[in-house]
C-alpha cells in the first residue's frame, strides 16, 4: 500500500517518528554541547579578565547568554516525552532569528562608529534573512506534521 500524496509506502506514525528520532536527537545533543561550550569559554574569559573595557564585557556577557540559551533549549527538547512534531524546530528558528537580529544590530552599531557600515549591514542582513528562511521552513514543517497527526487520528 502506498500513500499517493507522497508517493512512498504508507507507514505508521510510530515508524515515521522512530526513523526521525535518532538524527534529531543527535542534532540536539550537538547544539547543546556547542552552546554549553561557547557559554563556558566566553563566561570564563569574561570572569577572568576584569580589566576589559565595558563594551567587551557586555559582548562577553551576551555571548555567554546566547550559549546558555542554546544549551537550555537543547536540554528542553531532549527531555520532552512523546513527539514534538517539529515544535523544537520552530523554537530554534525563533531563537536563531532573535540572535541573528541582535548580531546584526550589534554589527551595525560597532561599524557605524568605525566605518564599514555597508559590509556590516550586508552580513547582518544576510544572517537575519537566513534565520527567517529557517524559521519559515520550520513553521511549514510543523503545520504539515500537525495536519498529518490529525489525519492519522492522533497518537
- Span 80-95, pLDDT tens digits: 876 677 889 999 999 9
The helix, strand and coil proportions of the chain, stated in percent and rounded to the nearest 5, come to 80, 5, 15
User: Looking at per-residue confidence, does 152 or 142 come out higher?
Assistant: 142
CA distance 29 to 126: 27
CA distance 31 to 72: 10
- Position 1 scores a pLDDT of 47
pLDDT at 97 over 70: yes
Per mean pLDDT, which range of 34-48, 72-86, 113-127, 136-150 is the poorest?
72-86
Q: Is the pTM of this model over 0.85?
A: no
CA distance 122 to 101: 12
Q: Where are the domains of the chain?
A: 24-152
Amino acid at each position: 500500500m502506498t500513500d499517493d500524496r507522497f508517493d512512498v509506502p504508507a507507514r505508521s506514525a510510530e515508524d515515521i517518528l522512530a526513523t526521525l528520532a535518532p538524527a534529531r536527537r543527535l542534532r540536539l545533543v550537538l547544539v547543546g554541547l556547542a552552546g554549553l561550550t561557547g557559554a563556558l569559554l566566553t563566561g570564563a574569559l569574561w570572569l577572568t579578565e576584569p580589566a576589559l573595557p565595558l563594551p567587551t564585557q557586555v559582548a562577553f556577557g551576551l555571548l555567554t547568554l546566547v550559549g546558555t540559551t542554546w544549551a537550555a533549549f537543547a536540554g528542553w527538547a531532549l527531555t520532552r516525552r512523546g513527539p514534538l512534531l517539529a515544535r523544537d524546530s520552530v523554537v530554534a528558528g525563533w531563537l536563531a532569528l532573535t540572535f541573528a537580529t541582535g548580531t546584526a544590530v550589534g554589527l551595525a552599531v560597532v561599524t557605524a562608529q568605525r566605518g564599514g557600515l555597508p559590509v556590516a549591514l550586508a552580513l547582518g542582513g544576510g544572517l537575519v534573512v537566513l534565520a527567517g528562511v529557517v524559521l519559515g521552513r520550520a513553521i511549514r514543517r510543523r503545520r504539515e506534521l500537525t495536519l498529518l497527526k490529525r489525519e492519522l487520528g492522533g497518537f
